[in-house]
Amino acid sequence: MMNTQENLLIVTSSPHIHSANSVSLTMRDVLIALSPALLASLYFFRFAAVKVILTCVVAAIVSEIIAQKIMQREVTIDDGSAIVTGLLLAFCLPPTLPLWIAAIGSAVAIIIGKQLFGGLGNNIFNPALIGRAFLVASWPVAMTTWISPLDGVTTATPLGLLKEGVTQGLPTLNQLFLGNVGGCLGETSALALILGGLYLLYKGHIDWRIPFSYLGTVFVLTAITGTLNGEGSWYPLYHFLGGGLMLGAFFMATDWVTTPITKQGRIIFGLGCGLLTVIIRLMGGYPEGVCYSILLMNLVTPLIDRYTKARVFGGVKKHA
Amino acid sequence: MSLGKEFTKGIFSENPLFRLTLGLCPSLAITTSVNNGIGMGVAFTGVLLASNIAISAMRKIIPDSIRIPSYIVIIATFVSMVEMLMHAYTPELFTSLGVFIPLIVVNCIILGRAEAFANKNGILPSIMDALGMGIGYTLALVVISAFREVLGAGTFMGYAVFSGSAPSALIMILPPGGFITLGCILAFLNKMQNVKVAKKAKLNQSIAQQQLSSN
């Protein structure tokens, strides 16, 4: 008879493998990934960018502290999520925006978009986009006044020009790629955003499925409509590189909290975002639809998750 | 319950909008200006008062099985009268409230008071109930619309509040502003309520302790 006592294994409850990942480390990586776009916006919009970005980040941190104090929650500004929200919001604001409007946007993003829903991890919508949507509805003129980079002359965004049917004197694709065009602070430079997005993909913080299905859908749909309308091959590329698509696809549609967790769900999410973006851009009243498309898909994320849930191993298929 | 209590409960402890959260749809839709809020509140109070009196007076002859259609007919009659009166004497308010005047017919507060109060009580308590509920609802509408008009249009009852360029946030007089305002007010009132309950519990506890120690 064996002595059972000696052969007992150590039993602990899962998880058994721990990674050193934490919210603050991930947020640090997101900040690293956003830095090329930050440098690009500082280069193109100079002091205007410094003012708006600083205002947004500081206002986001202050609102987070105030909201968490009032709600008697633990103050968690050191996890860096408020900084990321403030920075992302600043990236989708025009450089000439009055600073008090930018500060209100940050406060709305943090307090209404995040803390009222229960704080980080419980928000339904991307907080930065909530802030932007609030500002667009409240101060439509200030939110759509653009300046061209470097010289600061009032201009229109490339997609705005396209919407008005301008064909002569559009910024070149090269300018769009580098970011030397009018637009929101952080959205103009596709190059810088792609670099940051690739860093996040490399680090494994975001899943390729959302950005690729999102970008792919926009490209394919604009290629089809471009061909039908007899536009050249520049047309889909213009939609691909212009506006907030890169910023949205890599940094906002990939938010862990507000997007599906299943693999098929993420592809559906990306497809939906792409479809809505193209519909708003080509048929809607606004020249740009990235913000609303992501917010609308955030709304159906729980539904997508529910219908793409993997069957439990050994479970029985549901009869319809 | 005393008549006074029937009157005050509608304003505070059973405020139809802030405590019972009834009649939200018209409240969110028309509270874009204080004038609209007052107009809606007065029209609502008139209909509620008349329908409560009529239903209370007829409560013994309305057969139980068809009471809801009967209430609707009675309420619809008074709504039509109020609508015609407003069309004749306050055409501006009539246009700005639009479809929400005829929709008072299906306002769940009026039907709710008929079902929950007027068909069980006499005429005098029903009048007090209608007045209390009507004033409570009007006050709630004025509070919501005051926030929305000042923040969203920079005016109060049509008069400019801020001098110079008004930094008003347009969203507050758009539909999302209604939800945001109502949500914030409800959160604030619930917080006050919780504080009050906690204070009372603490007081009771200390009284109980004193009694224990004195025994």
Q: Which residues of A30-62 are buried (b: 16+ CB within 10 A; e: fewer)?
A: beebbebbbebbebbbeebbebbbebbbebbbb
B176 reaches A (C-beta below 8 A): yes
- pTM for the model stands at 0.86
**Does the distance separating the beta carbons of B174 and A104 come in below 8 Å?**
no
Q: Which of B7, B18, B11 is nearest to B193 (CA)?
A: B18
pLDDT at A319 over 80: no
Q: Tell me: the pLDDT tens digits for B124-180?
A: 999 999 999 999 999 999 999 999 999 888 888 888 877 666 578 889 999 999 999
Q: Which residue has the higher pLDDT, A215 or A77?
A: A215
A118 reaches B (C-beta below 8 A): no
Compute CA distances A216 → A49, A237, A267, B200, whole Å.
30, 11, 11, 61
The C-alpha atoms of residue A189 and residue A187 are separated, in whole angstroms, by 6
At residue A309, the 3 state secondary structure works out as coil
**Does the distance separating the beta carbons of B167 and A138 come in below 8 Å?**
no
Chain A, nearest residue to B171 by Cα: A138
A229: its two tokens: 């309308």
Compute CA distances B83 → B13, B49, B80, B99, B130, whole Å.
30, 15, 5, 10, 19
* B169 neighbourhood in chain A, CB within 8 Å: 104, 134, 138-139
Chain B, nearest residue to A131 by Cα: B171
B198 reaches A (C-beta below 8 A): no
**Does the distance separating the beta carbons of B180 and A137 come in below 8 Å?**
no
* B172 neighbourhood in chain A, CB within 8 Å: 138
The CA distance from B41 to the nearest CA of chain A, in Å, is 27
Q: Tell me: the pLDDT tens digits for A186-214?
A: 888 899 999 999 999 999 889 999 999 99
Q: Which residue has the higher pLDDT, A256 or A1?
A: A256
Give me the pLDDT at residue A158, please. 85
CB A153 within 8 A of CB A181: no
The C-alpha atoms of residue B164 and residue B157 are separated, in whole angstroms, by 18
* B176 neighbourhood in chain A, CB within 8 Å: 134, 137
Q: Which of A102, A3, A108 is nearest to A56 (CA)?
A: A102
ipTM (interface predicted TM):
0.80
E strand or H helix at A146: strand A146-147
What's the first-to-final CA gap in chain A, in angstroms?
55
CB A253 within 8 A of CB A211: yes
**Does the distance separating the beta carbons of A138 and B170 come in below 8 Å?**
yes
Backbone torsions φ then ψ of B160, nearest 5 degrees: -65, 135
Alpha helices (H) along A5-157: 23-70, 81-91, 99-107, 127-138
CB B162 within 8 A of CB B151: no
Residue ranges per structural domain of chain A = 24-150+164-205, 206-308
Q: Tell me: the pLDDT tens digits for A14-66?
A: 777 777 678 888 899 999 999 999 999 999 998 889 999 999 999 999 999 99
Q: Which residues of A6-29 are buried (b: 16+ CB within 10 A; e: fewer)?
A: eeeeeeeeeeeeeeeeeeeebbeb
A112 reaches B (C-beta below 8 A): yes
B86: its two tokens: 């407003």
Give me the pLDDT at residue A3, please. 57
A138 reaches B (C-beta below 8 A): yes
**Does the distance separating the beta carbons of B176 and A139 come in below 8 Å?**
no
Q: Tell me: the pLDDT tens digits for A136-177?
A: 999 988 888 888 887 778 888 888 888 887 777 788 888 888
3-state helix, strand, coil in chain B (%, to 5): 80, 0, 20
The CA distance from B143 to the nearest CA of chain A, in Å, is 21
Q: Tell me: the pLDDT tens digits for A117-139?
A: 988 889 999 999 999 999 999 99
